[in-house]
Structure 1
C-alpha cells in the first residue's frame, strides 16, 4: 500500500509579502506517520501570528480531513485569515469546524455576585434549555417518521443494545428494591389495619398503591439514576473525545443515531420493568402479609383482581412508556450540552439525574390529575 504524501509547509517571500503554501495530505493517517507533526504545529502557530498580509494557499493539499483541518484551524486561532485560497470542499470543512467550535473560542467573563443578574441568567438558561428541548422533541418526531418510512435502514443494533443495557441489566436492582418496598408497605399497613379489624383490605392498599403509583414511579427513579446517568455520561464522553464533532463533519445525525434509539429503547423497556417491579413488590407484600396477618398467597391472588380494576394496570404501563421517553430525552439533552472537559461531564451527569427524577415526579402528578377518575 502506497504511503500518503506527508504534510509539508512551503514558505516563499515576494515583494516583502509572505506566502504560505500547504502541501501533501493533511489527514489523521498522514499526520500519524509524520515524525515532524509537532514541528508543523509550532510552525503553523508561528506563521499565524505573522502580519495580516500573509497569503495562505491550500491548493497543494491533496487530502484534508477533520483532524488536519482542526490542526490548521487551531493554528489560525479560530478565524479564517484575510487572504486564503481554498477550494469548495476545503471551505465546507472549515465552515463546519467554525460552526462546531464557536463557543470554544469565545472568552468568558466572570461577573461579581449579583442576585438580579443571577436570577436573570437562570431564567434565560431555563428558557434556552426549554427551547432546545422543544427542538429536540421536534427533531425526534422527524427521525421517527424517517425510521417508519425506511425501517430497514434504522439503527436496530443501537436499539437492541440499549434495551439490553437499560432493561435486562436493571432487572436485579428493580426486583430487589420492589420486593423490599412491598415488605415495608405491607408491614406498615398491617399494623394499622389490625387495629380496626380490616386485615383483608391489605390487598386493596397494596394492589392500588403498587400497580397504580409506586411501581411506575419507583422503576422510573431507579432507571433515571442508573441508566439516565449512563446515557448522559456516554454522550458526554463522546463530546470530550470529539466523536460528536466527527459525526457532524461526516454528516451523521445525532438525533437519528444517538437520541432516537435510546428513546425507543426506554419506551419499550420501561413498561416491562414497571410490570416486573409491580410483580416483585406484590410478592414482597404478600410475603409480609402472610407472616404478619396470616393471609395466604391464594387468598391474596384471588382478591387482587376484584380489589384493583385492570384499568390501573394499563395506566401504570402507560406511565412507564411516558417516563422512559422523558428520561431518555432529558439524559440526551444534558449529554449534548456537556462541554469538552471533565468538570462539565460531572456537572452534566448530576444535573441529568436530578432533572430526570424531577420530571418524572411532575409527570406523575399530571397523570394523577388527568386520570383521577380512571380505575377507582
Structure 2
C-alpha cells in the first residue's frame, strides 16, 4: 500500500485549528501496520477542541468501519465545523440514524402482577388436565392389559424392572446403610445420657421401617429413575419417535407409560424392603460400637418394638410412591417440546415435582394411619 493511500491526519495548530483527513479510510487500510491505534489517539486529542475544523473532503475512500471510528471520536454526534465530500454524506447519515434507533425495553412483570398470576393459573390448569388425562388413559390401558394379557408389553415391563429396580440396589444400599449408622449413632448418644439404651431398637425400627425407608428409597428413585424416564420420553419427542409410533398405530400409553408405572409399582416395595434391611444393619453396627448392644439382642427386640402393621404401611407407601413417580415422570416427558432446552427444563422440573409429590403423599399417609401401628 503506497503512502498516498494510507489513512492519515494532517493537523494545523493555527487558530482556528484545522484537522484534515486524507487517504483510504477503509477496513483493510486501517488494519495495516496498526494504524487504528495511532489514529484513535490523534482523533481523541483533536476532539477535545470544540472549535476544531474537521475537513474530510480529502478522503479518497470511506467505508462504514472508517466512518464509525470518526463518529466515535466525535462523541457520537457531528462536530460544529465539518466539511464532507458529497459521496460520504450518506455513510454518516446511516450511522447517525442507527444511533437514534432504540430497542423497546420490555419490562418484566412482577410475580404478583395479574398477567403473571393468570399465566401461572393457566399453566397449573394445563398440567392438571394433562395429568388427569394421563391417568384416564392408564386406566383404559390396564383394562386392555387385563382382557388380553398375552398381548401385553411383558418385555418392556421386565426391562423397566431391571433398570429401575435391580440397578438401584447399590445406591439405595449405600445411602440406607449410612443413614442407619448416623441415626443410630446420634440416638444412642442421647439415650445413653438418660439410661435408655434399650429403646434404641424402638426408635431405629419405627423410624426406618415406617418412614425413612420408603421415603429414602422414593427420593433416590425419583432422582435416578424418574429423571431417566423423563429424559427418555423427551429424547423420543426430539427425535420424533413418538410421532412415528402414532403413525404406526402404536399407543404411547400401552407401550411406554403402563410398563413404567407397573415396573415402578413392583420395584419400589422391593426396594423399600431392601433399604429397610440395609439401614437396620447399619443401625445394628452403630449400636454395637456405641452402646455395646449385641446383634442377637437387636434382632430379638425388633419384632416386639415395631408392630407388623408398620411394615405393611411401608410396603403400601412403596407401591403408591412408585406409581406417583412414574406418572409424574411420564407426564413431564410427554410435555417436552422438540428442542434441547425444553428437554433440560422438563427433566429438572420432573425430579423436583416427583420429590415434592412423594413428600406430600407421605404426609397424607401419616394423617390417614396416625393411629395404626402403635401399641
TM-score, structure 1 as length reference: 0.70
Q: Distance in 1 between matches of 2:330 and 2:229?
A: 7
Taking the aligned partners of 1:202 and 1:375, their CA distance within structure 2 comes to 18
Residue 205 (structure 1) shift: 0.2
- 1:218 equivalent in structure 2: 216
SS of match in other structure, 2:158: helix
Equivalent in the alignment of 2:182: 184
Measure, in 2, the Cα distance between the counterparts of 1:368 and 1:336.
32
Shift of 1:128: 1.0
In structure 2, how many angstroms separate the alpha carbons of the residues matched to 1:112 and 1:189?
A: 54
- In the alignment, which of 359, 362, 373 is matched to residue 361 of structure 1? 359
Tell me which residue corresponds to 2:131: 133
CA distance in 2, matches of 1:176, 1:193: 26
Per the TM alignment, residue 132 of structure 1 is displaced from its structure 2 partner at its CA by 0.7
Residue 375 (1) aligns with residue 352 (2) = no
1:278 has 2:273 as partner: no
Written as runs of structure 1 = structure 2, the 5 A alignment for 1:256-295 is 256-295=254-293
Q: How many angstroms apart in 2 are the aligned matches of 1:119 and 1:157?
A: 45
Whole-angstrom CA distance in 1 between matches of 2:205 and 2:282:
12
- The size of the alignment, in residue pairs, is 267
Partner of 2:311: 313
What CA distance in whole angstroms lies between the structure 2 residues aligned with 1:117 and 1:276?
49
The structural deviation recorded for 1:113 is 2.3
The alignment's TM-score, normalised by the length of structure 2, stands at 0.70
**Offset of 1:347 from its aligned partner?**
0.2
Whole-Å separation in 2 of the counterparts to 1:204 and 1:122 = 46
In structure 1, the partner of 2:151 is 153
CA distance in 2, matches of 1:195, 1:117: 58
Who is 1:196 aligned against?
Answer: 194
Q: Does 1:171 align with 2:169?
A: yes
Q: Which residue is 2:229 aligned to?
A: 231
Task: Give the C-alpha shift of residue 234 in structure 1.
Answer: 0.3
Gaps of 5+ in 2: 1-104
The corresponding residue for 1:323 is 321
